[in-house]
Structure 1
Amino acid sequence: MGDYKKNQLSTKKIWLLVIVGSLIIAILSHLYFIYQKSDGILMAGFNDGLSQMIPFKKFIYDAYTSGNFFYSDSFGLGGGIYSQLGYYYSTNLFFLFYVVIIFLLEILGVIEHPDITFWANAILPMSIFKITIALIVTIYYFRQIKFGFLASFLGAVVYAVNVLYFRHTMYWDFFSDAFVWFILLLIGIEKIIQKKSGKLFVIAVVCNLITNFYFSYINFILALFYILLRFPIRFFNDEEKVSKQLIRYISLGIIGFLISSFAFIPAVMGYLDNYRPEFSDSIPLFTLTDNILFNSRVMFLPIFIIILVCIRKFYKHPIFRFFAITSIIGTILHFIPAVGSMFNGFSAPQNRWEHIVGLAYGGITAFTFHYIKQIKLRHISIGVGLYLFVSIGIVWWDDFEFDRPIRFVIPILSFMMVIILLGMKRFSSTKQKRIFFVSVTLFMMLIANTFQSARLMIPPKDKVLASEAVMQSGHYNSKEQRNILENLEQRTDIENFRIDWMVPTRNNTPIVQDYDGFSIYSSILNQNLLFFYYDRLQISMEEESVSRYDGMGDRTNLLSILNGQFYMRDKAIEKVPYGFNKILESENYHVYENEWLLPNFRKTNTLFSEEEFINQPILTKEHAMLKGAIVDKQKSTDKLPDSKEITDYNIKLINANYDDKALEVKEENGGVEITLTDSVEAGDLYLSFYLEGIKNNDKYVLKVNEFQTIRKEADSIYRTGYNDLTLRVTASDKIQIKLPKGTYQLEDFHIFHEDYQYLKNAYIEYADERLSIKWNNGRVEGDVVSEEKDELIVTPIPYEKGWHLQINGKYVPMEKVNYAFIGIPLEEGMNDIKMVYLPPYFGISCLLSIIGVSLFWYLVRKRKRRVSDSNKET
């Protein structure tokens, strides 16, 4: 008994050392980031880091700590944050842990309410914490397959201190969570294989599914590969039969799914209600996408791995054989884009699955630590020869040049690693292990810091590093901008008003600067709104791109319908929507107010059928939305409104050739000039046409008079695929369409004049009608009297699964109006309206979770009784 307690105490001390050692390694592997922090440089990508990750952390923290968990009217035009942000942080276990800790510090007065800069600065300590956890769980995994503590620690360093981890953490830090949850899943698998409790397997399934449904998909595919390869490659003699393993995987996996349903199902529903254009580009069978030796972007292949996989005698050991096969297959698959596409839901190829390759490298290294004495000179020579062959080929293919001092670091470290391996032959086995342990650990940490310096802190596309100075500038969130927004908040007494403003390309500016706007950037969005922008109303954004929307194309009709009270722009931008009058001016910005703003909620019984608008002009659709509402299931109750099309015009070429379809622009800002035969009255022109860049290698600027928008390059995976455009410009006798030098498909011109009579009529009609309806995030309440038959209320609330409507205490189905918004059908007389949002199928999801927890509790209790009975018998 005394020896048992002594061993227990010793094990506890070792694990304490493991935790401390993991923290030290985590800190040392971030040294370059820590050094850059002293200059105000942040561990955040200038693009997605500042545009998505940091804003969403701030946004969800503010929502959750104020008691709002499911829906926000400030999420773009409004949206379910629990389901749509499940891809990011709404149920992310790491983030929720941070939320609890930070909120406690806030209510205790240790810190002030965390602002956007706080979350940017928090990325570094959060990353250090996460990599510490990754090291600890990986060490525990290697211990499960009977590696010693030092070997396990070494293997964990090779796995966790990985260039892929740092790339993910800097640009999309929730992606790197997979490094932890994948290992937890493998520990659960190993426990089942070794006839131990399946409790950890269930917990791992739950953690994966709750944290991120997308990475669950990736991790489960990798786990399936792991399981299938472990069937023939048995590490130990006394392993569970394959049939029993399968039964346990399936049964325990179902319990894990049930437990996680409350988070997983709403997140998947958000994904299914999203729209992303199908990736239609051809995917090559094989391509050398990355220089994995010297200039790695997502994967780094250390020289010692190449040497170790060349040691034939190691392959007689099943554990080494398993990790060697995984590493070789994984490294080859890195160059097969179809694999990256499969792991990305058969969309554009992405390398987000390759943490398993890093684990295989770690397993090879940990195994070698035990058998270091068996490495011979010929093994090193063969490995070095292969390394030289591969490196020469890669340098030749990649045109890699040693033109900067930083580019010599990896070759020098690799050469030193070879010298160390050769020099170890003079020492005893114990000393060899120590030298190997220290050299590999230092090698990985130096590579990590080199990668941070050469690849992350000098990003070739971003050109600007994320810093506190950038975050306080006009390119992100300046004091001048915030002061204007605060002023506008004080000027209005209108509820749910919106401001058409965003920092260029920063679609999440409303989240950053705390106002209700017209823009959002998120991988998961309400598809009704996306179709509203892409196709139904053809609203041109500042820059064409999937997963985002912004503004209303300066179209006053839409701004008036959707609460667009203010319009703010940089002074250098001259375009202003019709009917907006200047009210404010600062050093760099001017602000305009809409004089034709319509009420948030409007009653109407003038309804138009969606079907009748399939071939109608965009302007006609806007007129119908002003006159009444467009519905998707009902016949029209009034004749369609008209639009004034201009058909008499001449086309003149500007440094271009044109044959009514193909436009060849010979010089920059060439294109076509359309001259109207008859002068037009005041108002706007709506110009509709088809435009597609033919094999454009770069994105390009389309200019139509004062309006301009950026269109994606021909091979961009972020292009929308919608090329039918409708642009609004101030009424003029001439319309100039200007494009960069290149070839385009340009056709199907339609020009309409808008005098805004429909808007003015609507403004007069609703001038004295202010419905007493309150919309606050996921709750809508009000009392409305309907005096006419078949009336409904047109709302600015996006139509989305999860809303539940009650009229006078009875549940009533909602209408979808104006393609993307909720219509509330009214009864004649008084209507007591209550509308509440819950994530889709949330009640069923929670019930399934309760069932899962009950089953899990039953299995745990049953196993405890069985173990207890077994102990009594012995």
Structure 2
Amino acid sequence: MLQRFAHLSPHKNMLLLSFLLPLFVMAVIYATMGVYPFGNSTLLTVDLGQQYVDFFSYYRTTLLSDPSAIFFSFTKSFGGEMLGLWAYYLMSPFNLILLFFPQSQLSMAVTILILLKISASGLTFAYLLISRFEGKGLLVPSFALSYALMGYVIVNQLNVMWLDGLVFLPLIVLGLEKLLSGENGLFYSLFLGVMLLSNYYIGFMICLFLIFYFVFAISRQQNSGSQGRKAQLKRLWAQTARFVGYSILGAGFSSVLLVPTFYSLLGSKASYANSLIDWSFAYDPAEVVSKFYIGAFNFDQMPSGHPNLFIGTVALTAYIYYFFHPAFARKERLTTLALTVLFFLAMNVQFLNKIWHAGQYPIWYPYRFSFTVCFFFLLNGFRALRAYRTFPLTLACCLLVANAVSAIYVLRKDFDFLEPVQVLITAVLAVIVLVLLMLRDQPRKWLAYALLFVVTAEMTANAAIDLFRLGYVKQDEFVDYQTNLNMMLADIRPAENEFYRIEKTFQRSKNDSFQAAYAGINHFSSTFEKEIPALFGSLGFPDGNGFIVYSTGTLFTDALFGVKYFIQDKQLPESFYDLNDGVYRLNRNSTRPDLTQYSPYSETDRTITYENPYALPLAFGVSASVLELQTIEDQPLLMQEQVLDAFNNQESIEPFFSLRPFDSNVFQNVSSTAADAQNTTYYRSVDGAISRIEFQFTPASDNPYYLILDAGIDDENATLYLNNVKLDYYTTYRNDQVINVASNQKGENITFTIELLEDSIRVQDLKLYELNKGLFEDAISARQAESLSISSFSQTHITGSVAIQNEDEVLLTTVPYSEGWNVTIDGEDAETTSALDGLLAVPITPGKHTVSLTYRTPYLHTGLAISGSSIVGALLLKKCSRKKRGQRPGV
């Protein structure tokens, strides 16, 4: 076994340098940035700070204390399957390092995780160059560093789960090269399977790239003159069959995760795909040249921008040189040129771009597959410099002219991510690199060191420029929130075999429940089942593709979803934070005067916790008419009214939510042509002056009052005030919201104000409703009488007893509907169905019953069987291969 790696022994220093050099460069940059423990900053920014770090906390909690949460967890919104989330975010083998850090040190664990992945990618690329492309000397770490610190890596390192693709791609290509040369294909299948297990999304892009790489590899093969066309076609067919067969075997290894994940995707990420075929360009094709300049990135390039293709001047020059290099066959170079054109088209043509992203246009982080293109450039650039020839003077002159033309072009286009100094530095580097390459025909040992120095300096500068342009979460702010959230939850966490939900009027991220391991409702992930945002959107909550925010609840929604405790932040003066060093203001996103209808339960210096007496259990009996309800859009209180009516079998005579008029409307510097103040477009009368619309009313009771806020009003066109205090609400949403504007304020003047930020604003369906609290209490009391009393609870298995009244025929749960849930009533399997387009419901007869709910991941056993069969097949292939070679087992 050791003999297989003996050929690497002379190159171990180059491998070690390929690992350590990117590690050192990035560590120095992080230290300069003041990343903890070198300062008070972290790498937590954008999705890494708002999603992944919370999932990492869940990862630790699950593996260390609650393994059942691997498959289903009530920390995901109001419950959700988890295998899809694991497959997309958490299956990297590198994540095991998180287990060695306490929760309070997660930010440092993430930093080390990123450093290890970046360094490992340099190591595996160097291993490929040495093992298959005769790599030796300092040229290997030079290109390994360009690979490890390419622009894609730097700007996407916050998407830490994608970095595994950079680590495993060289090993997969190495396996494919072995396969095509007639060696055993199991190396290829193994690492392809590992990649698909680690992150199927990036794995899909690699699989697509491998098809093109296969064509490229075939074009490199030299055909013997004695071989006829028929023999060549036979050889090509055999190689294609082996490529397809071993690729399927690799997918088979990972089927234990891929099969159930595919089912999960049908209800989440894949469900947002569309069949629109758009052949238009996303940008002027010439603009792509801007991304080859040093530091060609800023924050605006994240949501929408150009592909990240920066690989350094040495690598780019070498790749261009490849096409003029006589050591490579004309057929190969033409194939490479065709593939290069195809790659650039794929990074611009909308439809081709969508194919690379599995049929769905990416939301933020465009052209996520561009690392495969950079890999292709770097590999062939290395081959061009490795196959030594004198660098042509004519080509050098042409490149200098092209460099000048490119510089003039980008300066005239005035890209906001390129400063003139960046263009100048890149131009100077291009000249230096050309000089060094032309000097390579001289026996000067220092040239290799000079090239390595240029690569190191340029890749370091690019990384520093890109990273310093982003904003990051402070370490003490992150720890402060972690510590205080756990302290707030300490006395309200459910006891063993008890279940209820907890929510807040503030958040650090939508995944706070993952960070602190409690059952909440907020959630944000790419694997979120689409039915849940649709349901919450219809009830008046902010929602979108992949997220919901429980910021606009009512007494009824709190009751429905079993929110037993609600934590509200106090409105503290600025001096409080000035006097308490390291204490940060909580990010309030909800206005809930109706929390005063609940009983204060506990208090800290920053929060008050309320106990909700109306909270319903996880399951309760209701009328069968709830099964007939369908969600409706942009009428959230009508939707809530219908659900309450259905609970009581339409027996309510009075409405739960009654429409109330505004007492008066006051206009300041605005005009309108419509008579209806709640349905019109308002225009600013005098430019530059404050323009406001005030809606005033006086509550006739202490009941809660709710306002429907049109989805067209947001923080870009208006600032909202309640009684002259800026309204706290979540400003990104696609459906009408329900805003609580009064509670326990009988006889007080209430003013809701819209201040225009633009010259006009459309106000429509601005309606005020009063909740009949007495009627609401009666309806909820009837449901509480039919509560499921839980005797045993885990994330995937719940048992309890319930007493159903004569008029009710459905056991409604606030568990997302899924085929994975099996329900038994009195030991007999019960038929499950979906209520409200997303809740698990079970028909049930009146009387006392024992109920059991068990979750089993759909198609997990199917995937396990395929993976098991693939492993057995691989072992048989290996045995047959040994017999064919006449080797003894164990050699």
Which bin holds the TM-score, normalised by the shorter protein?
0.7 to 0.9
> Which residue, 225, 241, 247 being the options, matches 1:247?
241
Distance in 2, matches of 1:144 and 1:698, equals 56
Q: Secondary structure at the match of 1:164?
A: helix
Q: CA distance change for structure 1 residues 55 and 640 in 2, over 3 Å: closer, same or farther?
A: farther
What's 1:716 paired with?
Answer: none
Q: Secondary structure at the match of 2:705?
A: strand
Q: Secondary structure at the match of 1:88?
A: helix
**Residue identity opposite 2:457 in structure 1:** L
> Which residue, 865, 868, 874 being the options, matches 2:886?
868
**Residue identity opposite 1:286 in structure 2:** Y
Q: Tell me the CA shift for residue 263 of structure 1.
A: 0.4
Distance in 2, matches of 1:402 and 1:621, equals 51
Superposed CA offset, 1:221-270 (max 9, x none):
21122223444443676998322222223322333223211101222222
Distance in 2, matches of 1:231 and 1:643, equals 72
Q: Tell me the CA shift for residue 841 of structure 1.
A: 1.4
Distance in 2, matches of 1:602 and 1:748, equals 34
Superposed CA offset, 1:95-135 (max 9, x none):
2x546xx4xxxxxxxx6xx3334332123333333234323
CA contact (8 A) 1:55 1:116 kept: no
**Residue identity opposite 1:148 in structure 2:** G
What's 2:361 paired with?
Answer: 347
**Residue identity opposite 1:486 in structure 2:** A
1:358-757 aligned at under 5 Å gives the runs 358-399=374-415, 410-411=426-427, 413-424=429-440, 427-428=442-443, 431=444, 434-459=445-470, 462=471, 465-473=472-480, 476-477=481-482, 479-489=483-493, 495-501=498-504, 503-504=506-507, 506-534=509-537, 536-539=538-541, 541=542, 545-572=544-571, 575-578=592-595, 579-605=597-623, 607-611=625-629, 614=632, 617-626=635-644, 629=647, 642-646=655-659, 648-649=661-662, 652-658=666-672, 659=674, 660-665=679-684, 670=691, 672-675=693-696, 680-688=700-708, 690-692=710-712, 707-712=727-732, 722-730=734-742, 734-757=751-774
Q: CA distance change for structure 1 residues 502 and 323 in 2, over 3 Å: closer, same or farther?
A: farther
Q: Which has the higher mean CA deviation after the structures are superposed, 358-367 or 760-769?
A: 760-769
Distance in 2, matches of 1:121 and 1:754, equals 48
> Which residue, 10, 30, 39 being the options, matches 1:33?
30
Distance in 2, matches of 1:312 and 1:620, equals 67
What's 1:23 paired with?
Answer: 19
Superposed CA offset, 1:566-595 (max 9, x none):
222332266432413444443333333324
Q: Secondary structure at the match of 1:75?
A: coil
**Residue identity opposite 1:684 in structure 2:** P
CA contact (8 A) 1:323 1:361 kept: no
Q: Secondary structure at the match of 2:729?
A: strand
Q: Alignment RMSD, CA only?
A: 3.8
Matched, 1:299 2:342: no
1:202-221 aligned at under 5 Å gives the runs 202-221=189-208
Matched, 1:272 2:289: no
Uncovered stretches (5+) of structure 2, i.e. residues with no partner:
298-307, 572-587, 744-748
Matched, 1:765 2:765: no
Q: Tell me the CA shift for residue 613 of structure 1.
A: 6.7
**Residue identity opposite 1:803 in structure 2:** W
Matched, 1:197 2:200: no
Q: Secondary structure at the match of 1:824?
A: strand
CA contact (8 A) 2:817 2:840 kept: yes
Q: Secondary structure at the match of 1:748?
A: coil
| TM-score (normalizing by structure 2) | 0.82
Distance in 2, matches of 1:537 and 1:854, equals 51
**Residue identity opposite 1:673 in structure 2:** E
CA contact (8 A) 2:50 2:509 kept: yes
Q: CA distance change for structure 1 residues 34 and 268 in 2, over 3 Å: closer, same or farther?
A: farther
What's 1:129 paired with?
Answer: 116
Q: Tell me the CA shift for residue 414 of structure 1.
A: 4.0
Distance in 2, matches of 1:306 and 1:494, equals 61
Q: CA distance change for structure 1 residues 86 and 829 in 2, over 3 Å: closer, same or farther?
A: same
CA contact (8 A) 1:569 1:589 kept: yes
CA contact (8 A) 1:41 1:467 kept: yes
Superposed CA offset, 1:281-327 (max 9, x none):
99644333654313323321533345441576405614666666655
Distance in 1, matches of 2:164 and 2:215, equals 24
> Which residue, 98, 115, 119 being the options, matches 2:102?
115
Q: Secondary structure at the match of 1:834?
A: strand
> Which residue, 865, 871, 874 being the options, matches 1:856?
874
Q: CA distance change for structure 1 residues 301 and 9 in 2, over 3 Å: closer, same or farther?
A: closer
Q: CA distance change for structure 1 residues 399 and 621 in 2, over 3 Å: closer, same or farther?
A: closer
Q: CA distance change for structure 1 residues 231 and 87 in 2, over 3 Å: closer, same or farther?
A: same
Q: CA distance change for structure 1 residues 338 and 639 in 2, over 3 Å: closer, same or farther?
A: same
CA contact (8 A) 1:617 1:643 kept: no
Distance in 2, matches of 1:272 and 1:401, equals 38
Distance in 1, matches of 2:420 and 2:391, equals 35
Distance in 2, matches of 1:214 and 1:8, equals 32
Q: Which has the higher mean CA deviation after the structures are superposed, 401-410 or 245-254?
A: 401-410
Distance in 1, matches of 2:176 and 2:116, equals 25
Q: CA distance change for structure 1 residues 53 and 439 in 2, over 3 Å: closer, same or farther?
A: farther
Q: Tell me the CA shift for residue 661 of structure 1.
A: 4.2
Distance in 2, matches of 1:402 and 1:259, equals 45
Q: Secondary structure at the match of 2:296?
A: coil
What's 2:71 paired with?
Answer: 70
CA contact (8 A) 1:292 1:301 kept: yes
Superposed CA offset, 1:646-671 (max 9, x none):
37556554433444443445668745
Q: Secondary structure at the match of 1:832?
A: strand
Distance in 1, matches of 2:835 and 2:438, equals 75
Q: CA distance change for structure 1 residues 673 and 322 in 2, over 3 Å: closer, same or farther?
A: same
What is the aligned length? Answer: 819
CA contact (8 A) 1:189 1:201 kept: yes
Distance in 2, matches of 1:82 and 1:8, equals 37
Q: Secondary structure at the match of 1:374?
A: coil
Q: CA distance change for structure 1 residues 489 and 127 in 2, over 3 Å: closer, same or farther?
A: closer
What's 2:47 paired with?
Answer: 48
| TM-score (normalizing by structure 1) | 0.84
Q: CA distance change for structure 1 residues 61 and 369 in 2, over 3 Å: closer, same or farther?
A: same
Q: Secondary structure at the match of 2:880?
A: helix
Uncovered stretches (5+) of structure 1, i.e. residues with no partner:
103-110, 631-635, 713-719
Distance in 1, matches of 2:821 and 2:257, equals 18
Q: Tell me the CA shift for residue 395 of structure 1.
A: 2.1
Q: Which has the higher mean CA deviation after the structures are superposed, 30-39 or 306-315?
A: 306-315
CA contact (8 A) 1:76 1:517 kept: yes
**Residue identity opposite 1:300 in structure 2:** F
**Residue identity opposite 2:386 in structure 1:** H
**Residue identity opposite 1:569 in structure 2:** Q
Superposed CA offset, 1:435-476 (max 9, x none):
4543343333323322332111331xx3xx234223124xx4
Superposed CA offset, 1:663-708 (max 9, x none):
44566874543456x9643323333354426xx9958655566754
Superposed CA offset, 1:802-851 (max 9, x none):
21222233322223234432223334555332221122211222122222
What's 1:94 paired with?
Answer: 94
Superposed CA offset, 1:598-617 (max 9, x none):
34432233633444775895
Q: Tell me the CA shift for residue 176 of structure 1.
A: 1.3
**Residue identity opposite 1:393 in structure 2:** Y
Q: Secondary structure at the match of 1:565?
A: strand
Distance in 2, matches of 1:138 and 1:253, equals 21
Q: CA distance change for structure 1 residues 242 and 739 in 2, over 3 Å: closer, same or farther?
A: farther
Distance in 1, matches of 2:388 and 2:634, equals 76
Q: Secondary structure at the match of 2:292?
A: coil
